[in-house]
Structure 1
Amino acid sequence: MGDIQKSNRSIFDLDLLRALVTVADCGSFTAAATRLHSTQSTISQKVRRLEELAGQRLLDRGVRDARPTDIGETVLGYARRMLALNEELAAALSGEGAGTTIRIGVPEDFAAGRTTRLLADFSRDHPRVKLEVSSGLSRGLAESYDRGELDLVLVKQRRGSREGLACWPEPMCWIDAAAAPTFAQDPVPLVAFPPRGLYREDMIDAVEALGRRWRISFTSSSLGGIQAAVADGLGISLLPARAVTAAHVVLGPASGLPVVDSIERVLLQRPSAEPEVKTLAAMLVRMLGEEPA
């Protein structure tokens, strides 16, 4: 009897539960190991130990991912509550105010304005949640999400490339400088994001389809840098409609440049995410769904 009681108590080892929750959140043992500053084998051993103590298989392990079983989902619910209570106790004893941290990734053109106002509203309703926001190129944000470094991300992608919680079309515009236009130059100067940037190949393909020569005149990983370079007459660019400023002129059908309608925004959130993450994701879905097309 004593051995059984000891075994049951061991099931609730917070270190083992944390390993399970992190694997479920990240979707893989490799990403979970990165988040926990551990090794893949150590995380795997902890989850296996928990499964042995529970007498149940808690994760379905695929070649590249790991998903909770039905009983695993039940254990995850209790595990999250136990870990949250542990953090609350630690915070109460140390005097710290925050409990949960949500790591969010958004493209640069969403890192201010309505997004920050929404995050402020969320923070007022969830004062114990700490928000960490990263902005950058969509490809980098998606890779960070896949590594388990971000909990919730908004990225831009080719239409239908990846399924997400919700997606919306991303209207695009060809822009030139209002004061010193450059489209008539030969070769056409292009202001672009770095190689592998989402719009770069669209720009090159479109100009070549016109039979025009081109050159990359300016490269920046910053949206603000691209906007300023075009406005100051360094070349034309292709940007989301929301990024067009008064210093730009939109190149319409008369330019011969094609309409680019292959880009969409997608919100990525793991099904096993914590309730606070799901609440914030729902708020973002409502906000993005209210934006004009």
Structure 2
Amino acid sequence: MRPTFDLDLLRTFVAVVDFGGFTRAAEQVHLTQSTVSQQIKKLEANVGHVLLLRDKSSGSVETTEEGELLLSYSRRLLATAAEAMEIMRKPSAPKTVRLGVPEDFAGRRLINLLSSFSAASPQIRLDTTSGWSVQLCRLLDAGEIDLALIKREPGDGACLASWKEELVWVESARHPIRSDPVALAVFPVGCIYRTRAIRAIEADGRRWRIAYTSQGLMGVQAAVASGLGISLLPSDAVLSEHRKLTPVDGFGVQPGSELALVKGRLRLSAEAKFLAEFLTDRLYSAISTGS
């Protein structure tokens, strides 16, 4: 095998040229003068050319034609090596974890929780996407996100963790409505609350109509508060402007839904597993306190 360039030899060679002699070069590279001489001889033996001409009377040196050529390459090799070492010593770039969160959940309790995670884990970059559970499941299947919090029927498939959600019927506290068909303020098609509400009313043999549809929780809450329609919401989404409906009002108790932390088909990275553990540990208390 052909010998490769020894960076220490190149560094000594450049020092001898830059500082005009073996003595001053030895001081700069913290070697003895005899060691510097030996390294230059070794480098010349490796490349098969004399690289430096030394004036014995003055101690100065000058490069040969081959030495001048190698000097240019030496500077580039040493600069590249220094750059590589600097890059390797820097903290590694943050690893990205992609998380999907429910549209009606993102603006309430989760933001502070995710902010605290980012502050405590600067080595992980969190990319969060909000959407309806149906959309988030599609993104998981496509490998476009790593984890998702979705609203679903209890026990509907595998999950990393799950939390029960209490659902309640609500109407306006100031503008109650008693209409036939039942006026509903709901989320778009695919939302479990919308589906549950429609099925429950149909199971009672009653008619319904969609009076208001909103992509966001605040829109549905406002529609209910203003008397546009009734809705089926998580208990922690009930506002002071709302009144809970009971069986006496003709709206029976609904079974709870489920908030589940799920993963896609791809294997989770160490960073995604760390986020999953964080959410599993912290989300229950966040839901319980409504913070």
Which band: TM-score by shorter chain?
0.5 to 0.7
CA distance in structure 2 between the aligned counterparts of 1:115 and 1:101, rounded to whole angstroms: 18
Equivalenced residues, count: 204
CA distance in structure 1 between the aligned counterparts of 2:108 and 2:201, rounded to whole angstroms: 33
Give the structure 2 partner of residue 29 of structure 1.
none
Residue 288 (structure 2) pairs with residue 292 (structure 1)? yes
CA distance in structure 2 between the aligned counterparts of 1:198 and 1:114, rounded to whole angstroms: 19
Give the structure 2 partner of residue 120 of structure 1.
115
Residue 268 (structure 2) pairs with residue 273 (structure 1)? yes
Could you tell me the percent identity over the aligned residues? 43
> Would the aligned equivalents of 1:210 and 1:256 in 2 still touch at CA under 8 Å?
no
Once the two structures are superposed, residues 195-245 of structure 1 have per-residue CA deviations (whole angstroms, 9 ceiling, x without a partner) of 232122321222233333221111222222111111111100111111111
- The structure-2 alpha-carbon separation of the partners of 1:113 and 1:194, relative to structure 1 and needing over 3 Å to count, comes to closer
Residue 247 (structure 2) pairs with residue 253 (structure 1)? yes
Give the structure 2 partner of residue 199 of structure 1.
193
> Would the aligned equivalents of 1:98 and 1:127 in 2 still touch at CA under 8 Å?
no
CA distance in structure 2 between the aligned counterparts of 1:96 and 1:225, rounded to whole angstroms: 44
* Structure with greater Cα Rg: 2
CA distance in structure 1 between the aligned counterparts of 2:245 and 2:98, rounded to whole angstroms: 37
Gaps spanning 5+ residues in structure 2: where?
1-83
Give the structure 2 partner of residue 234 of structure 1.
228
What is the CA RMSD across the aligned residues, in angstroms? Answer: 2.8
Deviation at 1:248, TM superposition (A): 1.0
Gaps spanning 5+ residues in structure 1: where?
1-88
CA distance in structure 1 between the aligned counterparts of 2:152 and 2:253, rounded to whole angstroms: 16
Give the letter aligned to residue 230 of structure 1: V
Residue 176 (structure 2) pairs with residue 187 (structure 1)? no
Match of 2:101 among 94, 101, 106: 106
Deviation at 1:114, TM superposition (A): 4.1
Give the structure 1 partner of residue 50 of structure 2.
none
> Would the aligned equivalents of 1:192 and 1:219 in 2 still touch at CA under 8 Å?
yes
Once the two structures are superposed, residues 19-45 of structure 1 have per-residue CA deviations (whole angstroms, 9 ceiling, x without a partner) of xxxxxxxxxxxxxxxxxxxxxxxxxxx
For normalisation by structure 2, the TM-score amounts to 0.63
> Would the aligned equivalents of 1:175 and 1:251 in 2 still touch at CA under 8 Å?
yes
Once the two structures are superposed, residues 73-117 of structure 1 have per-residue CA deviations (whole angstroms, 9 ceiling, x without a partner) of xxxxxxxxxxxxxxxx8x959x99842111111113432454222
Tell me whether 105-114 or 228-237 shows the greater mean CA deviation. Answer: 105-114
CA distance in structure 2 between the aligned counterparts of 1:261 and 1:92, rounded to whole angstroms: 56
1:227 is paired with a residue whose SS is helix
Deviation at 1:289, TM superposition (A): 2.7
Runs (4+) of structure 1 exceeding 4 A deviation are 95-98
